[in-house]
A = this chain, B = another copy of it.
Amino acid sequence: MSLTNLRFSQSSPDSRAYYGDGVRPQYDFGIAYPDPRSVPALELSEALRIGADSEGQDLALYPGIQGYKPLRQFLSDKLARDRNISVTADQILLTSGAGQGIHITMEMLLDPGDVVLVDDFTYSGGLAQIKRFRGDPQPVKTDNEGMLPDALEATIQRLLREGRTIKLIYLVPSFQNPQGWSISLERRKAILAAAQRHNLVILEDDSYCDLRYEGAAIPALRTLDEEGHVIYISTFSKTIAPGMRCGYLTASGALFERAMACKSGGPVPLFVSLAIHRYSDQLASHIEQINDIQMSKRNAMLAGLSEHFSDSATWIRPEGGLSIWVKMKQEVDLQAIRDKVFATDNVSYMPGNRFSPDLSTGKNFMRLSYGFNTPEEIYEGMGKLAAAFRREGVL
């Protein structure tokens, strides 16, 4: 068929780019997987069996778009306990991962050309969703505590002078992806004040909040916000498994109403929700266990970095999450050698420019994720990566 007379209406990203394509290197530092060996697959299948035994017939029904209410009730309790966020089960929408929460937010708020303010380097899936809805992600300079308030205000003023419409600020405040820092309390207050001053929505992507293995938790922007500016999203992908495709979104008033109307594909499957709900009483201890594992993996990667990269790179030591952000000398191009290192040395990493709104800035940075391999493999893989980099003349 000739498609010449069919103009596709959406400029969508290639979704496959976010996901692995089945070919994984031996040392997979490219994607922020949780630890595969501690995925509670059998506990989840037992949880599902228990749930199906009592409520299996309900699989025949079309439930409300918000998803299984007992799981939303669990989340209401969890958000109150862990993040001091007060929302009822009725103010929570289950989503297909945090990614769908981002999709929903962009779909409901963006008109073509609208600006979304983002960190100078931020989650590539967030950037892709902004561009999918023809939004314009504009970077704001950050340091190790998050967006610089002066830079934020200056960027807003410049864009307003240019006649641009700014709709929202996208943030990953806990263990920012890819940079690893968390936004300090003071900065959170400053960013929130800017959002209130300019009547902007904040999309707070708290996907990594449970993965803290050092330091004290910092209040969520949603907790600090009393004016309903914050759409808060998170996910079970990093604490249970991405293969569940279960995240959640909460917001106030009209924002929440519209989010429900934009949810695609019906509710999160009851089949998934039943399993997570019946498993939920084991979740806190599971998170403790995986955080111990991830900390040892982080330490293995930090040891590898110290041993091989100290002379040529700097990095941020994260207190949680799944990745370390590494900066090399300005002239280094890690994008250019990525495929060769993958193919030749069986090691992957994510070049920094993938996290930049222009997809070009930051080729001398890389994100190294340590969720997939064991600590021993990570340490070994860092040696392989260093050898590859020396061969390529960048180390």
Contact = CB atoms under 8 A, between A and B. Distances in A.
Interface residues on A, range: 35 or more
B56 A41 contact: yes
B227 A7 contact: no
A33 B59 CA distance: 10
A63 interface: yes
A108 B8 contact: yes
Interface stretch (A13-21, A331-339, A358-366): A13-21
Interface string A7-35: 11110111110111110100000010111
A290 to B, nearest CB: 10
Interface in A190-243: 196, 199, 201, 227-229, 241-243
B22 A39 contact: no
A241 B41 contact: no
A241 B201 contact: no
Interface of A: 1-3, 5-10, 12-16, 18-22, 24, 31, 33-37, 39, 41-42, 44-46, 48-49, 52-53, 56-65, 69, 95-97, 99-100, 103, 107-111, 133, 167, 196, 199, 201, 227-229, 241-246, 252-255, 258, 260-272, 275, 371-372
A242 B109 contact: no
A196 to B, nearest CB: 8
A3 B229 CA distance: 9
Contacts of A56: 39, 41-42, 44-45
Contact of A265 (B10, B95, B196): B95
Contacts of A63: 19-20, 22, 243
Contacts of A111: 7, 9
Contacts of A5: 199
Contact of A258 (B12, B97, B372): B12
Given A9-B109, A14-B261, A260-B16, A41 B65 contact: no
A189 to B, nearest CB: 17
Contacts of A252: 1
A245 B96 CA distance: 11
In the complex, the 3 A-B pairs of residues with the closest C-beta atoms, listed nearest first: A41-B56, A96-B265, A59-B243
Nearest to A135: B9
A59 B39 contact: yes
Nearest to A238: B60
B107 A9 contact: yes
